[in-house]
Amino acid sequence: MDRNQTHRNRRRALKVLHFSALFLTMAVICIPGLWIVLNSFRPTVEIMAKPPVWTPSFTLDHYRAMFGGAGEGGVPVFSYFRNSLIVSVVSTFIAILIGMSGGYAFARYRFKGKSGYFVGLMLFRAVPGVALSLPLFIVFAKVGIIDTHLGLILVYVAMNVPFTIWLTDGFFRQIPKELHEAAEIDGCTRWQAFWKVEFPVAKSGVASAAIFAFLTSWNEFALASQLTRSVGSKTMPVGLLDFTAEFTINWGGMCALAVLMIIPALILTFLVQKHLIAGLTFGGVKG
């Protein structure tokens, strides 16, 4: 009886501990993001207030200034948003096409030096953006594609192809060879067999690769900050810097732009959440 009691108590204590640790972790994960969202709705006076004001008040000033184009520094948010969208979508699309064909080659063909090629490709992904941005800046300036969408798209395609190959390779390997062989016996060409049989099966892997490619291009800063100069090609991560002046930062405006940056990423990630995890684990573990 007594032993039962202590056992039960211990169990309860563990449960409380587990719950509070979990709660604390989630709080640490959520609060910084929420803080940004919250501050985008607060007037600047309140953000800067000393002592701090904890009771929230609500204003849309920062959004109004941001979308109005004028006002606080007149940051051309629409152009940045459009640039980001064009660059990310186009580069993701191309990277997926190229990466898929590469992943298929690795999954379906046997050739000499296969693992060498594979690791070699991955190593190109590991080159730090800052280290690459110095020479890339000079080369692009010579070719004349600095400060253009095309330049950024090219860079992001090259950045995303290796990882896409890794993920799709794992997925194509999951698909039994018999599937496309049967399709070919039934009169499909290899090309048709791929699109009608193998591609639909590997869809979730492709979706997760696409999300990763999109997020990489959407969020990239080190290269974009050097390769873009004007309103015509600056992406949003670079645009964030517009809110900083020599000694002051317009925190409210920056938070508003940050919210605008997160929303598309948030929506996309939630849409394909399930594929994302499946893609990562299949691609890696069984690849």
Q: How far is the CB of 249 from other proteins (least distance, A)?
A: 8
Q: Which is nearer to other proteins, 65 or 95 (CB)?
A: 95
Q: Taking the complex as a whole, how short is the minimal distance between the CB of residue 219 and other proteins, in angstroms? A: 3
Q: Nearer Cβ to other proteins, position 60 or 138?
A: 138
Among 87, 146, 157, 227, binds other proteins (CB under 8 A): 157
Stretch that binds other proteins, among 19-27, 63-71, 180-188, 196-204 (CB under 8 A): 19-27
Determine which residue in the list 87, 207, 227, 287 makes contact with other proteins, applying CB under 8 A: 287
Of 64, 86, 89, the C-alpha closest to 74 is: 64
Q: Where are the beta strands (DSSP E) in the chain?
A: none
Q: Does 136 bind other proteins (CB under 8 A)?
A: yes
Pair of tokens at residue 65: 């200034």
User: What is the Cα–Cα distance from 109 to 238, expressed in whole angstroms?
Assistant: 42
Q: Find, among 212, 216, 220, 215, the residue nearest to 283 by Cα.
A: 212
Q: Does 35 bind other proteins (CB under 8 A)?
A: yes
Determine, following the binding rule CB under 8 A, whether residue 271 of this chain makes contact with other proteins: no
Judged by CB under 8 A, the stretch of 5-13, 21-29, 56-64, 174-182 that binds other proteins is 21-29
123 binds other proteins, rule: CB under 8 A: yes
* Alpha-carbon gap, residue 162 to 211, rounded angstroms: 14
Query: Which sign, positive or negative, has the C-alpha torsion 148, 154, 155, 159?
Result: positive
Figure out which of the listed residues 102, 180, 202, 207 binds other proteins, where binding follows CB under 8 A: 102
Binding flag, residue 48, other proteins (CB under 8 A): yes
Q: How far apart are the first and last CA of the chain?
A: 54
Residue with Cβ nearer other proteins (82 or 108): 108
Size of the site for other proteins (CB under 8 A): 89
Binding mask 158-197 for other proteins (x = CB under 8 A): x--xxx-x--------------------------------
Q: Is 129 in the site for other proteins (CB under 8 A)?
A: yes
**Cα–Cα distance, 165 to 158 (Å, whole number):** 11
Tell me, letter by letter, the H, E, C secondary structure of 232-248: CCCCHHHHHHHHECCCC
Residue 101 CB, shortest distance to other proteins, in Å, is 5
Burial of 40 (0-12, 13-18, 19+ CB in 10 A): buried
d(CA 113, CA 125): 19
Token digits of residue 15: 């449960």
Per CB under 8 A, 258 contacts other proteins: yes
